[in-house]
Amino acid sequence: MKYSKILGWLLLILSLVLSSSMARGQEIFYDVSNSTGTADYLLGSRLVENAAYATTALTLSSEFSDNSRAYIDLSRSQIFPQTEYSSSMGEIGLQLRYLGIDDNQLYAGLFAYLNQYEEDYSYYNSEGFGLYGKWKYYVKTSQVMTLGYELESKKFDEIAEASNTIHNLYLNYNQSFKTKSSINFQTEIAKQDFWPQTAYETTGRIITTTVMDIPDNTLWTTELRLSQSLGPKSGLTIWLANQSLLNDEADSLILQDGLENPFIDYFRWEGISASLRLLYRVNSNNNLKIVHSYAEKTFLDVPVYEFDFQTMNYTLIDDNLVSLGYDREDTRNHLLLQWTRNWTYNQNTWLSGLELVLGLGYTQNQSNDAIYDYESMSYSVGLNFNN
């Protein structure tokens, strides 16, 4: 109820802002993204095989002053033929900036969102509220430092113990060189604070109250990005990253049902990752991109159970799951080949850009949990347009 009121207030404010922009003759911008595709294991596990998807996302925004912007995002993801995995998302927000200080830029914003799944997985439904602020300082034109803070509070209605608030503090440094290369380094520390839960037990006229406080999770992440121009038409980018849990144990809710589990989120694993991207501009309207990514993930305290793929259910002995131990471990390789074609319409008020995206991907995920041990080919088509 608390977040529904916040979402309602922000929606009211956004409606007033957009109405005011229209009354003053200010332009309202839109961006529509559509994509469809199929994969051997679309949802990242062997529980859902040979599925297809269709996703549509709409963004409406208005800059009601030089330093402020309001937006609303709506999206729907439909899974076929397993429609029970489909979901919808909505987000509204306000963004502010202040550029009046020499060599400094200040940004702030707040947002609220709502995630809704089909009835079979309604326990994933969540609503949240967040805010952020960041300060950018230009040491030189080619050197920029950014200090930022983000807060996100998420509430799960049906599984209250999963509700949490995340605090994220980060520092970023970016420098470009005359050799048409750049370096970007970011380090951040994030804390996940679970909300205390109260349980009541009644014995006659005596009511016993117990407050359960799940321990916090703290995550430290570092990322290095190196970019180099290879000529007028091509460029190379390399990402290297590492994230570590600073707490000895990770608290989690385990629901292995085929979805990308929101309870096994990025606070549940630690490990290294790397990515290599090669971009080639065929001409002003055509781009070709090749990306290879690699990641090692250890999901701390996440159990592994024996699974029978003939019955598509967990193995039971004396009505008990057969445990294979803890700490699920994954090693993931992903290769993506993507072609993009752009069309620009400068004289059209309602349509200024159209983009067609074709993608071909291959994923190999090796895991000590058989559910997540798979190889998958993926194919996708996207069509995006805006004004």
Residue 258: per-residue pLDDT = 42
Residue 27: per-residue pLDDT = 76
Mean pLDDT of the region 232-259: 76
Strand partners, 59: 31, 73
pTM of the entire structure?
Answer: 0.85
Pairing outcome for strands 328-344 and 87-98: unpaired
Q: Per-residue pLDDT tens for 317-368?
A: 888 888 888 888 999 999 999 999 999 887 777 888 999 999 999 999 999 9
pLDDT band at 122 (very low <50, low <70, confident <90, very high): confident
User: Mean pLDDT across the chain, nearest whole number?
Assistant: 86
Q: Per-residue pLDDT tens for 347-359?
A: 777 888 999 999 9
Q: Decide if 275 contacts 242 (C-beta within 8 A).
A: no
Q: Exposed e or buried b for every residue in 271-307, given b needs 16+ CB within 10 A?
A: bebebebebebeeeeebebebebebbbebbebbbbeb
| Tokens standing for residue 347 | 């004289």
Residue 321: per-residue pLDDT = 84
Q: Per-residue pLDDT tens for 140-197?
A: 999 999 999 999 999 988 888 788 899 999 999 999 999 999 999 999 999 998 888 6
The reply to whether CATH 2.40.160.40 applies to domain 2-386 is: yes
Domain boundaries, the chain: 2-386
Whether 315 has a pLDDT exceeding 60, the answer reads yes
